[in-house]
Amino acid sequence: MRPGMTDPRELDKQYVFHPFSMAHVHEQSGALMMARSADGCWITDDSGKRHLDAMAGLWCVNVGYGRDRIADALADQARQLSYFHGFSSMATEPAATLAERVIAKAPEGFSKVFFGASGSDANDTQAKIVWYYNNARGKPEKKKIIARDRGYHGVTVMTAGLTGLPGLHAGFDLPLPMIRHVSAPHNVWTRLPEEDDAAFTARLAKELEDLILSEGPDTVGAFIAEPVMGAGGVIVPPEGYFAAIREVLDRYDVLLIADEVICGFGRLGTWFGTEALDMQPDLMSVAKGITSGYAPLSGVLVGDKVWRVISGEAPAKFGAFGHGYTYTAHPVMAAAALANLDIVEEENLVERAGEMGAYLNEALARAFADLPIVAETRGKGLMAAVEFARPTADGWQKFDSSLQVAPRIVRAALEDGVISRALPNSDAVSFSPPFTITPEEIDLAVSTVRKAAGVVHDALR
Ligand code: PLP
């Protein structure tokens, strides 16, 4: 204990072990920004400077910051029933009400929600459900899970491996041995110059089928994908992609898990990404947007096909479903989610995300068209990215990672008061603002990042 030290910046530097941060740099230099308060799309830091948060925290503060209605719901519920659990058929009213509300929004054929506290634990639960389902059906070999390069599914021992980003595997002995990856549908780094959507989709579906056949279909349990990949680069698949993938999976009795942790609850301008991308999953994971980040809550939505086995063959073989967290179906978190969904519905924020998303994507395309190091601007709804790369005679080449192109752009924009995000494994800068963002705020975010990119471009020459 160091007596007398009270400066939060010093305390942070000394005592907080930061996620996804350079340990030695943080210990030396401390926090890049210390947030103190927030309202709407704006964060105020400890020096009083205001920043436009064009990332809604980590893709999650969909209704914007500072909503009294959610704060009041949290406080009221904490006073009335601060906690009770869902084990052994115990229940609380907010969780029951929320489950019905989530299922009412979900695609046809979904009937149950299993609650957790993070996107990672939801996807971890998914893996266990896939194994449990196949064990109950007498298919104990059917355990491998296929994910995609650049997919982001979390950080637990299972889900960090499903995540197709090497930075989450390095030093952790991951992925676990039952995990496989196929290519991402990335226009810049995977699509061949001569491929149209149909040819690109057909090649990616064939890659998946070839992998299932080479592994042995009896050993493959599930395929997991985000409707639009988020942290891996905001990658929107080509037209027809998920229909082609579904056909392959159906042929080999492989479940499809939609990771809706970012897309779910409106970010693409539809309640779920599955609607926007014509994805027909057997299982879905949700988190972030269910509470807009005001409280940690996730859900695994279970489709009828899987539920029939969980409530049919499984109990006789395994007894009670032996999985659950202390905080599964937490009533305070559920109350926050209910207030959040009230806001989303009453303010038509799903529609608004679609409209503001179109505005954002057009603004990015216009603003970055003349910068020679822009390989692509892309997005759907309020998820967008600009991919920076070095132009070559026949396409694009990644910048050497030591040049830190995207991180430098993001850092320069932050100095000018706009929060964007540098995504790993190439140089993409992302935008994923609250649904309440205005056209003027979008213009500010885009012009600030464009200016920062111009400065970095000039410095590269
Ligand atoms: N799945 C997706 C698509 C995500 O974007 C994330 C987090 O960004 C996760 C899962 C993991 O969620 P959490 O960080 O809440 O564990």
Quick: pLDDT tens for 68-114: 999 999 999 999 999 999 999 999 999 999 999 999 999 999 999 99
Q: CB under 8 Å to 412, separation ≥6 — which residues?
A: 451, 452, 455, 456
Report pLDDT digits (tens) over 276-296: 999 999 999 999 999 999 999
Q: What is the DSSP letter of 148?
A: E
Q: What is the pLDDT of residue 298?
A: 98
**461 band by pLDDT with thresholds 50, 70 and 90:** confident
* Calpha distance 374→363 (Å, rounded): 14
- Name the residue of 148, 262, 267, 274 whose CB sits within 8 Å of the most ligand 1 atoms, as the mutation to test its pocket: 262
**3 band by pLDDT with thresholds 50, 70 and 90:** low
Q: Point out the ligand 1 atom lying closest to the alpha carbon of residue 259.
A: 3
Q: At 304, give phi and psi (nearest 5°).
A: -55, -40
Placement of tokens 């082609």 in the chain? 244
Q: Is the CB of 120 under 6 A from ligand 1?
A: yes
Q: Point out the ligand 1 atom lying closest to the alpha carbon of residue 155.
A: 16
- The count of other CB atoms within 10 Å of the CB of residue 138 is 9
Mean pLDDT, residues 331-356 taken together:
98
Q: Mean pLDDT, the chain, as a whole number?
A: 97
Element holding 440 (H helix, E strand) = helix 439-460
Say whether pLDDT at 50 is over 90: yes
Say whether pLDDT at 333 is over 60: yes
Say whether pLDDT at 1 is over 60: no
**53 band by pLDDT with thresholds 50, 70 and 90:** very high
287 Cα–ligand 1 center, Å: 8
**2 band by pLDDT with thresholds 50, 70 and 90:** low
* Calpha distance 223→145 (Å, rounded): 6
Mean pLDDT, residues 288-309 taken together:
98
Q: Is the CB of 56 under 6 A from ligand 1?
A: no
Report pLDDT digits (tens) over 261-280: 999 999 999 999 999 999 99
Q: Is the pTM of this model over 0.95?
A: yes
Say whether pLDDT at 192 is over 90: yes
Q: What is the pLDDT of residue 107?
A: 95
Q: 3-class SS at 198?
A: helix
113 Cα–ligand 1 center, Å: 18
Q: What is the pLDDT of residue 5?
A: 79
Tell me: cis bond preceding 94? Omega within 30 of 0 counts.
no
Report pLDDT digits (tens) over 213-260: 999 999 999 999 999 999 999 999 999 999 999 999 999 999 999 999
292 Cα–ligand 1 center, Å: 13
Q: Point out the ligand 1 atom lying closest to the alpha carbon of residue 60.
A: 8
Mean pLDDT, residues 137-145 taken together:
98
Exposed/middle/buried for residue 242 (C-beta within 10 Å: 0-12, 13-18, 19+) = buried
Q: Is the CB of 178 under 6 A from ligand 1?
A: no
Exposed/middle/buried for residue 46 (C-beta within 10 Å: 0-12, 13-18, 19+) = middle
